[in-house]
Amino acid sequence: MSRPKILVTGGAGYIGSHTILRLLENNFDVVAIDSEINSTSESLSRVASFCHCDPSRLVFVKADLCVSGWETQLDLYAPYAACIHFAALKAVGDSVQNPLLYYRNNLNCLLNLLAYLDGCHCKSIVFSSSATVYGSSTNVPFTEDTEVGKGITNPYGKTKFMCEEILKDWGHSAASLRYFNPVGNHPDGFIGEDPNGVPNNLMPFVAQVAVGKRQSLQVFGGDYNTKDGTGVRDYIHVLDLADAHIAAIRYVFTGNGVDKYSVFNIGTGAGHSVLEMVNAMQKASGRVIPYTIVDRRPGDVATCYADCSLSERELGWKASRTLDDICQDIWTWQSKNPNGYR
């Protein structure tokens, strides 16, 4: 019996590579497409080596979904049982500086992909969304019924909201997974988060300070109404996130999600402050992580974490890895790969 084949866009990226690993381990075949603008196919070479899989089970296509021509390359490997769509520009700050680039890229990527899926009769997709769609809401924990689209402070978040609206109207099986804060790496340290330039997210920056690549951390805001004055976020291990995609794939083409649009929060249901994360990384690395507290950033909220009971009930999924697991796995990757994949 043949294995289901999953098309994964943005497959060479941080979340994409970890999810492809879990797809292969769960008896799916994968065709990954990636422009390598913010990633490298070295991640997938390492995945294939780790899995010792037949080369036909993981195929990589280098192409940009916004530039025509990729369709004929993907036709070579069709049909596809379902698609996971990661491909997007994702830096919040950069989206403020280059809003039209983000609207053009993120919306056109999805529109072009859906047209292709219609043409090859693939009617199931899992979409990489974001908790940024909840905008300025302060009603924590966020549930899937929390209002979305209002008070979103950056074009990146607005594109995620718009993409959700497009998928809602697409009319086939679609699940939008609203990630909170993906962190961590595979515990063996062979794949991991490798941001280009200065990291935009907290934990890759903290890890680079721990390994000596950067001098110190700036903590934005020390006067929030939280346990230690620093912002609180819901940090989820990337392998728990990858497992959520496996559950969602099964949901959209074999389970209760067939022929409907669904949304799910993907987090831990608990929050940790910036200083808690710093202290946990100091424990994992055995290194002192210097930091200074500076002014708040515009648009940041004090506390943001998820209610994930719907994901547990409908997908049969629940995050299982701890804060210690997260920080130990970050340190394993960073210490083994101080310069990332380079």
Residues designated catalytic: 156
Q: Which residues pair with 217 in a beta bridge?
A: 291
> For residue 267, which of 328, 184, 181 has the smallest C-alpha distance?
181
- CA dist 243 and 22 (Å) reads 7
Q: Give residue 47's identity as a one-letter amino acid code.
A: V
Q: What are phi and psi of 303, to 5 degrees?
A: -140, 135
User: What's the distance, CA 107 to chain centroid?
Assistant: 17
CA atoms within 13 A on the CB side of 134: 26
Helix H or strand E segment including 284 = helix 274-285
- Report CA dihedral (213, 191, 61, 54) to the nearest 10 degrees: 150
* Residue keyed to tokens 């903290």: 206
The residues pairing with 233 across neighbouring beta strands, listed in sequence order, are 272, 304
* Separation CA 41–CA 23 (nearest Å): 17
The 232-233 sheet, strands edge to edge: 272-273, 232-233, 303-304
Nearest to 326 by CA among 180, 141, 175, 213: 180
